[in-house]
Structure formats: structure tokens, C-alpha cells
Amino acid sequence: MAIKVDTDQGRNYDSILLDIINYVYGYKIQSPTAFRNAKAALLDALGCAFESLQESKELCCMIGPVWAGADIAPDGFKLPGTGYQLDPLKGAFDLGSMIRYLDHNDAFPGAEWGHPSDNIGAILVIAISDMAPPSTLETVLTAMIKAYEIQGCFQIKNAFNKVGLDHTILVKIASTAVVCWMLGLTTDQALSALSHAWMDGHPLRVYRQSPNAGPRKGWAAGDACMRAVHIAFLAGAGQPGAPTVLTQPKWGFYNSLFRGQTFDLPRPFGSWTMENIIFKVHTAEGHGMSAVEAAVATSNKMQRRGIVIEDISHVRIRTQEAGMIIINKPLETLSNAADRDHCMQYMVAVCLIKGAMIETADYQNDSPWANDERVETLRAKIEMVEDPQYTADYHDPLVRSCANAVLVTLKDGTELPEAVVDYPLGHPKRNETVSAVRGKARRNLSLKLPQERVGLIMDTSEDSSFLQMPVTDFVDMFIP
Ligand SMILES: C[C@H](C(=O)O)[C@@](O)(CC(=O)O)C(=O)O
């Protein structure tokens, strides 16, 4: 790939910014697997958005125009699942938040964790805005594959969590780059926009961790999408950038926010992330997905043997390091849905008692499980331990498992057979994944659309002409 920046000034940018823009503007995606997954990811994300509208009153209070009377922005973004027509910034915030709100959209592991489909909030809004040339779904899927790739490649080795920053920083970076390309900005303008994205402050991860876990973790992605779109517009309007935004020795990102470390990007950008994306078929934090499967298997075994929950004295979960950092909360008070969906003990306790998979509604404040004494009692008996082999396998590029093992010990000392799941449903190594994700999308879209329309959407997505379809026609199908 040759560097295609327009001016000498452009060539002076930090090399990582040049690599990103060079990739976004110059690389042709040719992987059929990436396109197949991108299609599934788009339907999955829009399904997640509908599910959030249906399940979360909290979210619905944030959606729509910023002030009453601005419900219909002429030619504005038609927000899927609603009757709103919004300006692009609020449209990006709302769609990004809807996709992400219930923690049910696709995820990607690494030294940093994140949800690449968060980027769709920015991509779809720009694809149908009249500021960009008319787009087909090929443009949307290409932008998605590239945004996923930028985010995923950064996640492999760069732990923003270790410096307290939230991983939605990568949504802002990736979305800014692809939105500039979609808008037809010059590469100089795109470099400027990208440098603004890096110097943009960046939210703290504090809202994902106890005791502050809360709904902001659901709208942080929307916020990143909105910032990306805004920054791209500003650069398009002529704002100059900061070429050494990362490396300037005193004031640059590395020194100011990354403890002096530089980024490590072990792979060239291609389409690897989309090819290996992990979908969330069930609603569970990514590092607990295999644990809920193991818990349901254990519970079913207990039922067959006539063992009841009160017989349990102890549960041990072997997990990976990321699981220990993100979702180990044995005793803390869980005060909201976001807090519960980031608690391994809650997820596993509900599955063990229920004998079935935990669902989105089970995390909400008004769920019976949220106030069930049995859940609290069992939660206190669940211990998590890191298995170093699970951690190593999680990071090993050839293994990439996301394993958990659940071991129940009864009060009489009996140990039940340990249930081990290495790859949760939704992982690329599970053959059922893509069809399970399409099934999930069909169910979620049915929450807001009539069956015939859902059928039409699913059939259209299988059609050989799908990539040539105008995005406006596609988005119109999602308006109730
Ligand atoms: C990627 C994670 C998930 O599966 O939900 C994560 O839990 C990671 C994190 O807390 O940083 C998330 O909420 O984004």
C-alpha cells in the first residue's frame, strides 16, 4: 500500500495515523468470510438496537431530539425502530447507544476488550446523510470491516484499561477514520480529523467497574460515535490537525495518557477482526459467556439427579484474567442492570437456579431475579479463580479461547463433574454461530416490526444483489 496523503504537511503525521488512513483509503477488502460476517453483524446490531428500545426504559429516556419540537429534522437520519428523524450527531449518539445498551452486541477480546459493532452508530448515519455521496451496502460493510479491523488490531496488545481509559476511545478513532472516507474528505482532512480524535480527552473506565458501574457504559459508545462524526465534520470544514499528536515528547498522547508507552500493532490491517468476531448469542458479558453455558449444563445435571440449590455449599469458576478484572463481584451491592450484567456471580447464580440461560430482562431492576434472596445467597458462595492456562489460551493467536469451568460442591462434600466450555456459542470456532446470530436478529427485529417485514429483511440480506442495494432503501425497512 503506497501512502496516498495529499500534501507534505500530511506526510509529517505520526506514522500510525498515516497507516490508518492509508488502510482506510487504499485497501480493498476481498474476504468473503469478512463480508458474510459483516452482514450478520449489521443485522445483529440493528436487532440489538431494537431489543434496547423494547427492554430499557432508561435508554428510551435518552433517545430522540435534544429539545422538544426538533422531532423531525428535514432530511435527517431516520432512527431505526422509531419515528424520529434526527440531525447526524444525535442520530449517531442514539443509534450507537441503542446498539450497545444491553451489552448484547458483538465483542472482541485482547489486551483491551471492546464491541466493534459500536461503530455502526456512526457508519450508518453518515451512509444515508446527504453530506456523503449516495452509498450502497457495499460501502457500509466495507466501512464496518475497516472500523472493526482498526479497533481489533489495537485491542490485541494495547491495554487502555491499564491506564484507566475506556475502550470506546477506539470506537472514536476507528469511526473517525472510516467516516472521513465515507464523506469523501481528502486524506489530509482525514489525518487532521484522526489527530483530533486522539487529542479528544477520552472517558475514564471508572463507569464500567464497581462501585461505579452504571448506565454510562451503555451510552459511551454512542458518545464516541457522535464525537467521531463531529470531528470529521470539523476537519471537513477546514480545521487543521496536530501531526505529532501521539509522539510529541511532552504533550502528546503517549506521554500524557499512556504512561510513556507507544502502541504495539502486531498485525497489518486487513480483515482479520471481522473474520474472527465473537457474537453474543446470549446476553452475557463476553468473558462470562462460556460460564453461563457451563452453569446451565450443571443445573440440568443437578435437576436430573434431584439436587436442589440449597444443597450447594460452594461453586468455583475457573476463568481468564480479563474475567477476573471485569466481572468478579462476589459481594458488592448490585444497583442497576449495567452493574448486574458485569457480575459473573449474578449471571451464574441465575442460570444455576433457573436451569436455563440468563436473558436480557433478567438483569433489569424490575426483574424478579434482581430481588431474589436465593440469588444473593448463592452469589456469595461463588468464588472465581484465574486459571493461567485459560489466560494464556485467550491471548494465544492460535487458540483464542474464552474459557470458563464451573465446579459445584455440595454440602455433603460431593463434587459434581466440572462443566468446561472453551468456546462460547457466538465464537467463530462454533459452527452454529452465524445461523444462531441470524435467529437472534430475526427475534429481536420482530420486537418492533411485523413478521412479513422481518422476513423481507432477512431474505434481502441473502440476496445476491444485497451489496448493490442503496443504504437508504435498507434503512427504510427498519422504520416501523
Ligand atoms: C467487551 C466486554 C463485554 O463483553 O461486554 C466488556 O465487558 C469489556 C469491559 O468491561 O471493558 C464491555 O462492557 O464492553
Give the pLDDT confidence of 434-459 residue by residue, as tens digits: 999 999 999 999 999 999 999 999 99
Q: Which pLDDT score, from 0 to 100, does residue 66 have?
A: 85
Ligand 1 mean position to 342 CA, how many Å?
8
Q: Is the dihedral of CA 395, 107, 96, 229 positive or negative?
A: positive
Ligand 1 mean position to 328 CA, how many Å?
13
d(CA 79, CA 67): 16
Residue 64 corresponds to which amino acid? G
Is 56 inside a domain boundary? yes
241 lies in the same domain as 309: no
153 lies in the same domain as 251: yes
CATH of the domain at 413: 3.30.1330.120
282 CB near ligand 1 (under 6 Å) = no
Helix runs in 237-285, H state only: 253-257, 272-275
Is 16 inside a domain boundary? yes
250 lies in the same domain as 297: no
Q: Ligand 1 pocket test: which of 285, 290, 292, 328 has the largest number of ligand atoms within 8 Å of its C-beta?
A: 285
Q: Which of 255, 275, 295 is the last residue of a domain?
A: 275
pLDDT above 70 for 8: no
Residue reference for cell 429516556: 61
Is 217 inside a domain boundary? yes
8-state DSSP, 427: S
Where residue 9 falls among pLDDT bands split at 50, 70, 90? low
159 lies in the same domain as 17: yes
Closest ligand 1 atom, residue 280 Cα: 4
Where residue 25 falls among pLDDT bands split at 50, 70, 90? very high
104 CB near ligand 1 (under 6 Å) = no
319 lies in the same domain as 394: yes
Give the pLDDT confidence of 37-58 residue by residue, as tens digits: 999 999 999 999 999 999 999 9
167 CB near ligand 1 (under 6 Å) = yes
Compute how many other C-beta atoms are within 10 angstroms of the C-beta atom of residue 83. 11
115 CB near ligand 1 (under 6 Å) = yes
What nine digits make up the cell of 400?
A: 483464542
Distances (CA, A) of 112 to 15, 163, 322, 330, 477: 22, 11, 9, 23, 35
68 lies in the same domain as 124: yes
271 lies in the same domain as 292: no
Strands 404-410 and 77-78: unpaired
pLDDT above 90 for 99: yes
230 CB near ligand 1 (under 6 Å) = no
Nearest CA to ligand 1 atom 11: 113
Strands 85-86 and 77-78: antiparallel
213 CB near ligand 1 (under 6 Å) = no
Contact 352, 295 (CB under 8 A): yes
Compute how many other C-beta atoms are within 10 angstroms of the C-beta atom of residue 36. 14
Ligand 1 mean position to 200 CA, how many Å?
22
Q: Is 464 exposed, middle or buried (0-12, 13-18, 19+ CB in 10 A)?
A: exposed
Per the structure, the count of domains in the chain is: 2
231 lies in the same domain as 299: no
Q: Which pLDDT score, from 0 to 100, does residue 10 have?
A: 63
Nearest CA to ligand 1 atom 5: 285
pLDDT above 70 for 212: yes
78 CB near ligand 1 (under 6 Å) = no
Q: Ligand 1 pocket test: which of 108, 113, 154 has the largest number of ligand atoms within 8 Å of its C-beta?
A: 113
Q: Encode 133-160: b = buried (16+ Cβ within 10 Å), e = exposed.
A: eebbbebbbbbbbbbbbbbbbbbbebbb
Nearest Cα to 189, choosing from 437, 17, 52?
17
Is 431 inside a domain boundary? no
Q: Ligand 1 pocket test: which of 48, 100, 103, 219 has the largest number of ligand atoms within 8 Å of its C-beta?
A: 103
327 lies in the same domain as 255: no
Where residue 171 falls among pLDDT bands split at 50, 70, 90? very high
Note if the bond before 211 is cis, omega within 30 degrees.
yes
Give the pLDDT confidence of 399-439 residue by residue, as tens digits: 999 999 999 999 999 999 999 999 999 999 999 999 999 99
170 CB near ligand 1 (under 6 Å) = no
Euclidean distance between the first and the last CA atom of the chain, given in angstroms as a whole number = 44
Ligand 1 mean position to 285 CA, how many Å?
6
CATH of the domain at 195: 1.10.4100.10
Is 443 inside a domain boundary? no
291 lies in the same domain as 399: yes
Q: Which of 395, 421, 447 is the last residue of a domain?
A: 421
pTM over 0.90, yes/no: yes
Give the pLDDT confidence of 264-302 residue by residue, as tens digits: 999 999 999 999 999 999 999 999 999 999 999 999 999
Ligand 1 mean position to 286 CA, how many Å?
6
Is 465 inside a domain boundary? no
Compute how many other C-beta atoms are within 10 angstroms of the C-beta atom of residue 67. 7
Nearest CA to ligand 1 atom 7: 285
Q: Which of 372, 406, 421 is the last residue of a domain?
A: 421
271 lies in the same domain as 295: no
Mean pLDDT (whole number) for 227-240: 97
Structural domain that includes position 246: 8-275
ipTM score above 0.85: yes
What nine digits make up the cell of 294?
A: 457451563
Residues above pLDDT 90, as percent of the chain:
93
299 lies in the same domain as 230: no
Is 448 inside a domain boundary? no
Ligand 1 mean position to 341 CA, how many Å?
10
Is 474 inside a domain boundary? no
Ligand 1 mean position to 156 CA, how many Å?
15
pLDDT above 70 for 7: no
